[in-house]
């Protein structure tokens, strides 16, 4: 029995699985502590991966060498590219998954990863080496993590710990007046970790999330519902050639509430733990319960819901948009008034869950805690919500825990490099006052951070740190070369008006009065490489002879159409990088600078940004405060 590991990951959710996989594949002997091996990376809420901004994150995880995209492709039952009618920066992939197979694929992956071991147990205490003069202002004197003690009394030693406990820390579930301890339905809560950390000076808080009832397909009248099908030509998440798009897709369905449904739900508000003070935790603004929707949008007569299959071999369906902690009988009565649900049987009612989290301003950008050396946080313990946000943090925490162990600098992605960079920077510099969810609007450089170019942005980083194989990197370089050669060909190919004007009229584009380069014509709306191939034999011949794949053709087309916007965002990002290069001493006394506002002094002293760029993004630090810092540390 091995009791000594390089890295221990606590929690087998999406963050924990990515962290453990990354650390082990990079060469650290890693232990994954999970309470239930049959629920690794469990889809505790909706059985889907991706969506607006979230889909971009999954493609970034894949480009860096993470596993979520690959496993999603292997278990997809429906794929849709959202926002296709908008610009490419808004395109967002989303996949319905078979939730049982998703967890099984993760387990198969982890059990067959070299250097990775699994122990089924609950962590109850973190063990530290307490050093003299320990404080956040003296990094070399911080306490250091040395191990973990479990519920079974086993003590494991290690050099680093990644805490990814999700909703399990002192978790409590609520359904009407009933409440019980638990991390999710059927699973016990975890106790002891929060107490270990608050004793050292960590600040903890409470958050809340919820989930809808699960429905029995045998009792649903699908003929009365509006079907929502996947894309006719589905794509996939992983850039690797080892996975393929889904072949056989299942439909989802649109469902609508009614005034009668709303009236029944409102009749239970006096027994709602959300409204009567029982639940103290802060809930997610952008994924509200049905109770919240009725209170916030009191004038709406209906709300759209999405009925989603949980897998290929189950009758269980998920009702997206109907999260609730109302008494089960109120949920049951209201659901039966929805068209198509008249004879409905439910497998279980919806419920809410409260859990502990740690405000993420207590972290460095590497996701290592400021108070304890070698201790990393990832996932919902940082106040986030969503599988994708958790997985991204887990991947980065696993990478950086390994790199710290071997004496390498952490990998910190910039805001213009990845949505993952935006996510972590927002958490660390701004903190959270509600469960954090990623949106495209949170990123200043949306045109740079598209889902289609995630591999071009991040695969070199994944290869350099050791998570991308040589074979995968060779595929990447081939695609990059194809994109560049096609763009170069388009710049050089001259088109005469006579050979293309009929085509331009067919796509509602003005005819040419003189010859133009193909590159210029492609910048027009509705003009695509694919539709030009039958019109321009030279173009078709070039694409065929160079075996340029569809993904590379689309990437080249996007780069051509958005060239001006891309260059402008790059210019702005490069200007702002100046602030990221001006560092602030870790022990600097902000209270000594009377030129700063009182709020800025308080915020800067608490968060301790590493650069002026980070300081500029802290709420309460004004442009005038930033100028004061620039004068102090060298404009």
pLDDT digits (tens, 9 = 90+) for 490-524: 999 999 999 999 999 999 999 999 999 999 999 99
Q: Where are the alpha helices (DSSP H) in 202-336?
A: 259-266, 290-296, 328-335
Is pLDDT of 223 > 90? yes
Q: Is 459 helix (H, G, I), strand (E, B) or coil?
A: helix
Buried b or exposed e, range 111-123, using 16+ CB within 10 angstroms: eebebbbbbebbb
Among 455, 422, 414, 420, CA closest to 441: 422
- Residue 80's H or E segment, with its range, is strand 76-82
State residue 262's pLDDT score. Answer: 97
Strand partners, 207: 282, 355
Is pLDDT of 138 > 50? no
Which two structure tokens, joined as six digits, stand for 178? 């009933």
C-alpha distance from residue 443 to each of 414, 415, 417, 420 (Å):
11, 7, 10, 10
State residue 635's pLDDT score. Answer: 58
Q: How many CB atoms lie within 10 A of CB 3?
A: 11
pLDDT digits (tens, 9 = 90+) for 28-54: 999 999 999 999 999 999 999 999 999
CATH number assigned to the domain with residue range 581-633, chosen from the 4 options 1.10.150.570, 3.40.1190.20, 1.10.357.10, 1.10.10.410? 1.10.150.570
pLDDT digits (tens, 9 = 90+) for 591-607: 999 999 998 999 899 88
- State mean pLDDT over 548-573: 94
pLDDT digits (tens, 9 = 90+) for 406-457: 999 999 999 999 999 999 999 999 999 899 999 998 998 999 999 999 999 9
- State mean pLDDT over 228-246: 96
pLDDT band at 330 (very low <50, low <70, confident <90, very high): very high
Q: CATH 1.10.150.570: which residues of the chain?
A: 581-633
pLDDT digits (tens, 9 = 90+) for 470-487: 999 999 999 999 999 999
State residue 136's pLDDT score. Answer: 46
Q: Is 209 helix (H, G, I), strand (E, B) or coil?
A: strand
Is pLDDT of 292 > 70? yes
Mean pLDDT for all residues in the chain:
94
State residue 137's pLDDT score. Answer: 46
Q: CA torsion angle for 622, 626, 627, 629 (degrees, to 10)?
A: 140
Class of domain 470-567: mainly alpha
State residue 575's pLDDT score. Answer: 82
Q: CATH 2.40.30.260: which residues of the chain?
A: 214-351
Is pLDDT of 209 > 80? yes
Is pLDDT of 280 > 90? no
541: Cβ contacts below 8 Å, ≥ 6 apart: none
State residue 420's pLDDT score. Answer: 98
Q: CA torsion angle for 113, 115, 120, 125 (degrees, to 10)?
A: -140
CB of 221 closer than 8 Å to CB of 340? yes
Q: Cα 252–256–258 angle (5° rounding)?
A: 165
Q: Cα 105–164–398 angle (5° rounding)?
A: 75
CATH architecture of 214-351: Beta Barrel (2.40)
C-alpha distance from residue 517 to each of 496, 511, 540, 567 (Å):
9, 14, 16, 20
**Residues of the chain above pLDDT 90, percent:** 85
C-alpha distance from residue 77 to each of 51, 102, 340, 391 (Å):
15, 11, 23, 21
CB of 87 closer than 8 Å to CB of 260? no
Q: CATH 1.10.10.1800: which residues of the chain?
A: 470-567
CB of 281 closer than 8 Å to CB of 354? yes
pLDDT band at 140 (very low <50, low <70, confident <90, very high): low
Strand partners, 76: 97
pLDDT digits (tens, 9 = 90+) for 389-410: 999 999 999 999 999 999 999 9
> From CA 620, how far away is CA 603, in angstroms rounded?
7
- State mean pLDDT over 164-188: 93
State residue 580's pLDDT score. Answer: 85
> From CA 618, how far away is CA 600, in angstroms rounded?
9
State residue 510's pLDDT score. Answer: 93
State residue 134's pLDDT score. Answer: 47
State residue 131's pLDDT score. Answer: 56
């Amino acid at each position: 029995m091995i009791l000594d590991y390089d890295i221990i990951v606590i929690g087998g959710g999406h963050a924990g699985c990515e962290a453990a996989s990354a650390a082990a594949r990079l060469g650290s002997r890693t232990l994954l502590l999970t309470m239930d091996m049959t629920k690794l990376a469990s889809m505790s809420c909706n059985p889907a991966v991706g969506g607006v901004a979230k889909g971009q994150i999954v493609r970034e995880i894949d480009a860096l060498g993470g596993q979520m995209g690959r496993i999603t492709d292997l278990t997809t039952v429906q794929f849709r590219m959202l926002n296709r009618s908008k610009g490419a920066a808004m395109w967002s992939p989303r996949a319905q998954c078979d939730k049982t197979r998703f967890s099984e694929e993760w387990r198969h992956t982890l059990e067959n990863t070299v250097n990775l071991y699994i122990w089924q147990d609950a962590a109850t205490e973190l063990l530290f080496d307490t050093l003299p003069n320990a404080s956040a202002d003296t990094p070399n004197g911080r306490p250091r993590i040395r191990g973990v003690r479990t519920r079974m009394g086993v003590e494991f030693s290690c050099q680093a710990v990644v805490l990814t406990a999700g909703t399990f820390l002192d978790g409590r579930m609520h359904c009407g007046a009933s409440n019980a301890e638990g991390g999710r339905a059927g699973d016990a809560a975890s106790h002891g970790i929060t107490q270990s950390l608050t004793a050292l000076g960590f600040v903890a808080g409470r958050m809340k999330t919820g989930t809808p009832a699960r429905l029995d397909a045998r009792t649903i009248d699908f003929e009365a519902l509006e079907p929502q099908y996947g894309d006719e030509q589905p794509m996939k998440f992983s850039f690797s050639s080892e996975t393929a798009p889904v072949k056989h897709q299942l439909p989802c369905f649109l469902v609508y509430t009614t005034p009668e449904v709303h009236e029944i739900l409102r009749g239970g508000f006096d027994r709602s733990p959300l409204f009567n003070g029982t639940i103290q935790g802060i809930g997610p603004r952008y994924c509200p319960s049905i109770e919240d929707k009725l209170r916030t949008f009191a004038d709406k007569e209906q709300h759209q819901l999405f009925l989603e299959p949980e897998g290929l071999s189950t009758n269980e369906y998920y009702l997206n948009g109907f999260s609730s902690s109302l008494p089960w009988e109120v949920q049951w009565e209201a659901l039966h008034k929805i068209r198509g649900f008249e004879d409905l049987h439910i497998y279980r009612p919806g419920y809410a869950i409260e859990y502990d989290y740690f405000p993420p301003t207590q972290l460095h950008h590497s996701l290592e805690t400021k108070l304890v050396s070698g201790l990393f946080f990832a996932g919902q313990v940082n106040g986030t919500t969503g599988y994708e946000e958790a997985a991204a943090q887990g991947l980065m925490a696993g990478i950086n825990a390994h790199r710290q162990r071997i004496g390498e600098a952490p990998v910190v992605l910039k805001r213009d490099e990845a949505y993952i960079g935006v996510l972590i920077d927002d958490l660390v510099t701004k903190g959270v006052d509600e469960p954090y969810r990623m949106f495209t609007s949170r990123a200043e450089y949306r045109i740079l951070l598209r889902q289609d170019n995630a591999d071009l942005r991040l695969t070199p980083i994944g290869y350099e740190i050791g998570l991308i194989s040589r074979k995968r990197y060779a595929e990447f370089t081939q695609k990059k070369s194809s994109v560049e050669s096609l763009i170069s060909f388009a710049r050089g190919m001259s088109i005469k008006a006579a050979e293309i004007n009929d085509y331009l009229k067919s796509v509602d584009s003005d005819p040419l009065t003189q010859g133009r380069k193909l590159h210029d014509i492609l910048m027009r709306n509705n003009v695509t490489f694919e539709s030009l191939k039958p019109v321009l034999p030279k173009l078709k011949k070039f694409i065929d002879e160079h075996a340029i794949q569809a993904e590379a053709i689309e990437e080249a087309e996007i780069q051509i159409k958005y060239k001006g916007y891309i260059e402008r965002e790059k210019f702005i990002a490069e200007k702002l990088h100046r602030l990221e290069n001006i560092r602030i001493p870790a022990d600097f006394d902000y209270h000594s600078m009377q030129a700063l506002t009182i709020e800025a002094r308080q915020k800067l002293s608490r968060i301790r940004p590493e650069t002026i760029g980070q300081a500029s993004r802290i709420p309460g630090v004004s442009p005038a405060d930033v100028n004061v810092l620039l004068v102090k540390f060298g404009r």
